[in-house]
Chains A and B, each alone.
Chain A
Amino acid sequence: MNRLFTAIGFLLLCLCMALTTASQAQLIAGTTPEIFKQFSEHVVKIEVVETSSAAKASTGTGFAADNSGRIVTNYHVISKLVHSPERYRIDVIDVAGGTTVGTVLGVDVVYDLAILRTQRQPKGHLVFESNPVAQGTRLYSLGHPRDLGLSIVEGTHNGLLKHTLYPKVHFTGSLNPGMSGGPTLTQDGKVVGINVATEGNQISFLVPAERAVALLDKTAKGEMRPSASFLADVGRQIHDNQSRYLAGMFEAKTPRVALAPYDLPTKPAEFFRCWADAVRRKELPYVSVTHDCSTDDYIFVSSDQSSGIVRFYHQLLSTGELNPARFFTLYSAQLQGGNAAMFGNEEEVTSFRCQTRNVATAHGKLKGVLCARQYIKLPALYDAVFRVATLGSRNAGLVSTLSLSGVSFDNVQALSRRYMESIKWQR
C-alpha cells in the first residue's frame, strides 16, 4: 500500500508540479533547504517537564514514525520520566508549536531508543531506509540543538563503527545536545539513523534505523502501559544484554600482554580499546608501567548511571632504588589510591561495600579487594570494582583493577574470579 501511495504521490508531483502536502513524499532529490522544508514538519521537539514546577528538565528531538501518532526518540531523552514517572511528563511539540502529551510505548535501553505516542494525528511521517547506505553518502540531520529551534545539519555517512559494543553509524557532522532522538536522513528523506551521541569535532553517532524499526514492530500493538512499568524493562534489557558482551571475557581466549614478569589479559574483544604508557622520570625512584583497556561505549541508564562499561587497568611498579619498606609504602598507596569517587546519586545507587582478602591463586598470592554497590531502582544490578595487588616480591608489584558497571552479582563474581585467575607471573 505504501508503495502505491508513493507512486501516486510521485505521479501527482510530476504532473502537477505543485506543492503538495503528500505525507510520504520522499522522492524529491533536494537541496538542503528543500529537504528541510519538506521533512521538518515530521520532526517534533520533546520536552520532559517537571510537573510541580512546570519547568522543562530535559529536551530532545523525535520524529513521527507512522500515521498512528507513534514517535521515535532516544531513551536518554525521556529517561527521567522512566525513572520517576510521578515527577515528570513528556510534552511533544510540533513545528507549528502545538503541544500534546506523550506517553511511553516502549524502550530499548541498549540501543538508546524509545517509542512515544501522542493523541494528535500526524500530518505525515518519515520512513526508514531499508537498503545499505554507502560510506560517503551525504546525510542530513534534523533536531533542536540546545533548544535553539529546529535545525538541519549536513554530514556524511562513514559506515558502521566496528569497535563499539553496539553497532552505531558513524556520522561525520556536528550533532549537538538537544538533537538527540532526531532523524538523520538521506537526500531522498529516508531515515538512516537516529541522532544519539557526539564526541565533538564532527564525530557523531547514530542508532541504525533497523533498531528503531525493530522497536516499532515490538510496540505495534500499541498497548498502553503505566510509565512505571518501563523501568522493569530497562532492568531486564540490561540483564539480558550482559551475557552478550561478558561471556568468555578473561577466559583462555583473551589475548595476553607481557609486562615482565607478569603475563596479563588485554583487549578481550573488538570493542575494547587499550593504551599503554610508562612513567620513568628521573626524579622518581621507581618506574610505573601501565596498560589500560576500556570499552569506549556505554549504555545510558540515567544521567548518573550507565551500564556496560568495562575497564581494566594494570599498573606495574618496580624499583631498583627504594628499599622494600619504602617501596611497599608506595605499593600500599597505589592499592588504596583508587578509593576514587565514582558518579552516582543517592536515589539510584547504594554506597559501596568492600571485601579485602589475601587470596592464593594458581599463580601466586595476591591481595584482593572487591567493592560493589547496588542499583536501587533497577533490580539486581551492581557496579563493582575489583582490585588486586600481587604479593611476594620486594621491589616490584602489580596493581590491577577491573571496573564493571550495571552487571548482575553473578557476573561480578564470575568476572572477579576469571580476572584474578588470568593474572599470571613468574616468581
Chain B
Amino acid sequence: MAALGYIEILDGKGGVSERIAVDGFPITVGRAYGNQVILADPFVCPRHLKIVQDEQGRLLASDLDSINGFYAASDKERIAQLQLESGSQFRIGHTTLRYVSVDHPLAPTLVEGAVKVLPLASPFAAVISGVILVLLLCLDAYLSSIERVTVANIIGETWVTVSMLATWAGMWALASRIVVSRFNFARHVTIACLALLAISALGVVAEWSEFFLPWIPILWIAGVFGYGLVLAGMVFGHLGAASFLRRRSRLWTAAAISLVVVGTSAISDFAARSKFSTVMEYTGVVKPIDAALVPANSVEDFVTGSEKLKKELDALTKKAKALQ
C-alpha cells in the first residue's frame, strides 16, 4: 500500500534524522514496539500519542495520558489534541516530530556550485586561516627569538602550536560526529585558527598600548578580559558546528564558560596579589620606535607620582600590622 505520508523525526536544527512511512490511520507513537512509530526517547511513554483520521479526513493527534505531555511545535503549553496539517511539528518527550503528506511541496533543487556554503564551514576557509596562522607563528617565533635562529627552530616551535591546534579541532570534530553525526573538521580548524589569530592580534595591540600608556595595565586587562572574549567567541563557534543548540543557548553557554575562566583567572590574580611575595611584579615593554613619538612624563611627574606608590605601601603596612 502506498504511503499516505511520513512521520519525520527532526534533529535540533530541523534536519530530518529519521523518516517513518505512514500507510494508514490510526497510528500510535511511543517507545513500545507495538507502535507504528517507535521512538528511542526515554522521556516518551510506551504509548504516548495517537493519530487518527476523522470522517472529514482531518488528522488529529491526541495525547494518550502521557507522563511528559504533548506540545505543538515549540509551544510550552501542554495540549491534549492537535489537528495535523502536512508540515505540522509537534513534540513529545525530547523528540520533535513532523508530519508530512506525500504531496507536501518541496523546495527547488539546488544547482551544484551555485550554493553558498557558510564561509566558515568551507574547507577553503580552513586552509586560508591555517596558512595565515602558520606564517604568523613562524614570524612570531623568529621575532621573539633572541639567539641565532635556524629554520628548524622556527618550524619546531610552530609545529608544537599547529599540532595542539589540530588536536583541539580534532576533539571538537569527534564531538560533532557524536552529537550531530558530522565531523565538521574544517569548520573547527577555521574557528581555532581565527581564535589564535585574534589572540595574537590582541597581544600585539596590548603590548604596544602598554608601551605607550604604561600607567594603564593594558596587558593585564587584555590577559583577563580580552582572552575571555576570544574564548567565548571560540566556544560559540565550536558549539555551532558541534551541537543542535540554538543560537541563544550557544551564546549563554559560551558566555558562561568564558565568565568562569575569566572569573577564575581574575580571582587567582587577585589572590596572588594579596599574598606576600618578594618578587617585583611589573611589565616593562619597550618598542623600537622614534622616542619623539612616545608620550612621556617629566622627571618631576615621575617622582611626585610615586607618592601614590607610597600610599599603597602605607595601606599594605597598616594591613600587615593589624594582622600581627
A360 touches B296 (CB 8 A): yes
Nearest-CB distance from B275 to chain A (Å)? 8
A298 within 8 A of B: no
Contacts of A356 in B (CB 8 A): 214-215, 282-284
Nearest-CB distance from A175 to chain B (Å)? 30
A359 touches B299 (CB 8 A): yes
Tell which of A64-72, A262-270, A279-287 binds the partner. Answer: A279-287
- State A239–B313 Cα separation when bound (angstroms): 18
Contacts of B286 in A (CB 8 A): 328, 331-332, 335, 367, 389, 391, 397
B316 touches A351 (CB 8 A): yes
Contacts of A332 in B (CB 8 A): 284-286
A352-377 Cβ-contact flags toward B at 8 Å (1 or 0): 11111111110011011111111010
Given A358-B296, A358-B297, A417-B299 in contact, is the A330-B284 Cβ separation under 8 Å? no
B281 touches A329 (CB 8 A): no
A355 touches B316 (CB 8 A): no
- State A357–B304 Cα separation when bound (angstroms): 12
Those of A308-354 within 8 Å (CB) of chain B? 322, 324-333, 335-336, 338-347, 349-354
Chain A residue at smallest Cβ distance from B308: A355
Chain B residue at smallest Cβ distance from A388: B284
Contacts of A324 in B (CB 8 A): 288
A413 touches B284 (CB 8 A): no
Contacts of B283 in A (CB 8 A): 336, 356
With an 8 Å Cβ cutoff, the count of chain B residues facing the other chain is 50
Given A332-B284, A369-B282 in contact, is the A357-B302 Cβ separation under 8 Å? yes
Chain A residue at smallest Cβ distance from B148: A285
Contacts of B317 in A (CB 8 A): 350, 374, 376
B214 touches A358 (CB 8 A): yes
Residue with the greatest number of chain B CB neighbours at <10 A, chosen from A338, A368, A427: A368
Residue with the greatest number of chain A CB neighbours at <10 A, chosen from B275, B290, B316: B316
Out of B143, B278, B282, B284, name the residue touching A329 (CB < 8 Å): B143
A372 touches B309 (CB 8 A): yes
Those of B145-161 within 8 Å (CB) of chain A? 145-148
- State A244–B284 Cα separation when bound (angstroms): 33
B296 touches A326 (CB 8 A): no
- State A373–B284 Cα separation when bound (angstroms): 18
- State A352–B214 Cα separation when bound (angstroms): 18
Nearest-CB distance from A309 to chain B (Å)? 15
B146 touches A376 (CB 8 A): no
Contacts of A372 in B (CB 8 A): 306, 309-310, 313
B306 touches A412 (CB 8 A): yes
B290 touches A392 (CB 8 A): yes
- State A419–B279 Cα separation when bound (angstroms): 23
Contacts of B309 in A (CB 8 A): 353-355, 370, 372
Those of A397-423 within 8 Å (CB) of chain B? 397, 409, 412-413, 416-417, 420-421
- State A248–B312 Cα separation when bound (angstroms): 28
Contacts of B279 in A (CB 8 A): 339-341, 352
B142 within 8 A of A: yes
Contacts of B312 in A (CB 8 A): 353
Q: List 17 A-B contacts (CB under 8 A).
A: A284-B148, A325-B288, A328-B288, A331-B286, A333-B146, A350-B313, A351-B277, A352-B278, A354-B309, A355-B302, A355-B306, A356-B283, A358-B212, A358-B297, A359-B297, A389-B284, A389-B286
Given contacts A324-B288, A358-B294, list 10 more A-B pairs with CB under 8 A: A284-B147, A326-B142, A329-B144, A350-B317, A355-B305, A355-B306, A358-B212, A371-B282, A372-B306, A391-B289
Binding site for A on B (CB under 8 A): 142-148, 212, 214-215, 273, 275-291, 294-299, 301-303, 305-306, 308-310, 312-314, 316-317, 320-321, 324
